[in-house]
Structure formats: structure tokens, C-alpha cells
Amino acid sequence: MSDQVKQPAIRTRGVIRDFKAGQQTIRVLHGIDLDVCPGELTYLVGESGSGKTTMISIMCGILWPTEGEVEVFGTDIYSLTDTELVNFRLQNIGFIFQQYNLIPSIDAASNAAVPLIAQGMGRKEARARAVKMLEKLNIADQADKLPNQLSGGQQQRVAIARALVHEPRLVVCDEPTAALDAKSGRRVMDLLREVGVAEDRSVIIVTHDNRIFDLADRILVLEDGRITHDGTEMPEDH
């Protein structure tokens, strides 16, 4: 199948998002049209307040757009019922949060196993699969440790394992390297590319970390709720 007919991982049309602030309505996104292809590592870049968090939240089905359509692997996600949407996310999307949001009282392997347990898999089996994923991320020796016994980079890898353990087709990352030094940040990005990107999978990363811009397949720049750049490199004026 050629790239031209390949179904986009994400397709948005005319996405508008307004927020109410007292009497005022603030438009954060101004009709975003976007196609994200599978097999790509896509960056969503922009200053604070540019709308990138809102955009990524809408793309992964956790924030309703005011107007517009969002399709993820061909599914119009906002036409689903609440329960269907939650299940869609559980089956198809992996999340990596800036602050990791690991559960502090369960060990690394159990944290990584959360999506599988949420899918209904038995704890033992889910944990075994999570350990395998931790092995891929070279952190299996820390599987029994609690998050507070791990370094920031190790916690980030556990978070990556949690995002990938159920083999989602879309992985969404929010500032995955913000809390890491340059070396660790690049290693995390290498891991994400290695484990997360595949022909039928896509990874979208929200970042403003210019140390890793060169690792992207595609960079989208968002300014004041509009996409102002779409290319393989950052524009020179940024």
C-alpha cells in the first residue's frame, strides 16, 4: 500500500476549541486541519499558551472540541459514547505525562502493567508482560522498586513502558524530556522511536525542548491556536 492511500493515524478537520473565562470566551484553537501519518514521530511545538496541550488533549480523546472532527485510525472519536471513548483510549492510545503520574505505592512493573490490568488482564500475566516491556527499555532490574526509589530517567522509562505495554497504535507524550538532562533526553527519544514508532503506529510529542528537535520526522509549530509550520525541521526563526 502506498503512502498516499494509507489511513492517517490522526485526521482533524476544522477543530475549534473555546474556553470560558468569566464572561469572555477565549478561542484557543482556530480550525485546525491536520493529518498525522502512521510510522511517524511527530512533534507539536509551540510557546506556552499556543494551544498545543489543548490540541494534543483533543487528538487523544480526553477533551471535547467545540467544533470540528477528529478521527483516530479512522474512528470519529467524538461520535462515540463516553464509555466507548474511554475504551477506545484504553485499547488504542498510550500516554506519557510530563510528571509521569506513576502510582507511588506500587512497584515499577505494576505501574507499567496498569493499562493491561484496566483492560481486565490478570495481575500476574499483566505484570509479566510489563516486565518484558521494562526489559526492552533496559530497566527490568528496577521492576520491583517503587517510583520514589527510581531516578527521574528511570521513572520516565517506567512511564514509557506503561504507555507501550498494551501495544497502542498511538502514543501521546507531553514534554517527555523536560525533566531530563540532554543525554538522558536523547536516550528517551531513541527508546521512544525504537519501541513506539512502527509502520502501523504513531508517536506524537508535545515539546519545546530544542535539544531533541533533530530527532523528529515531522515538526508542527502551533502559534496562537494555528499551525504556522509543518515540516521535517524547525523553521529558522524559532
Q: Which residues bind another protein (CB under 8 A)?
A: 53, 56-57, 60, 62-63, 82-83, 86-91, 93, 95, 97-99, 101-106, 110, 114-115, 117-119, 123, 162, 174, 206
What Cα–Cα distance (Å) separates residue 160 from each residue in 60, 155, 157?
A: 16, 9, 5
CB-side neighbour CA atoms (13 Å) of 92: 20
Please say which residue, 39 or 179, places its beta carbon nearer to another protein. Answer: 179
Cβ 74 to another protein, closest distance in Å? 19
Judge contact between 64 and 78, C-beta under 8 A.
yes
Please say which residue, 115 or 196, places its beta carbon nearer to another protein. Answer: 115
How would you classify the pairing of strands 202-207 and 226-231? unpaired
Cβ 101 to another protein, closest distance in Å? 4
Cβ 203 to another protein, closest distance in Å? 16
CA distance 164 to 57: 18
Please say which residue, 43 or 95, places its beta carbon nearer to another protein. Answer: 95
Cβ 102 to another protein, closest distance in Å? 8
Phi-psi region of 201 (alpha: psi -120 to 50; beta: other; left: phi over 0): beta
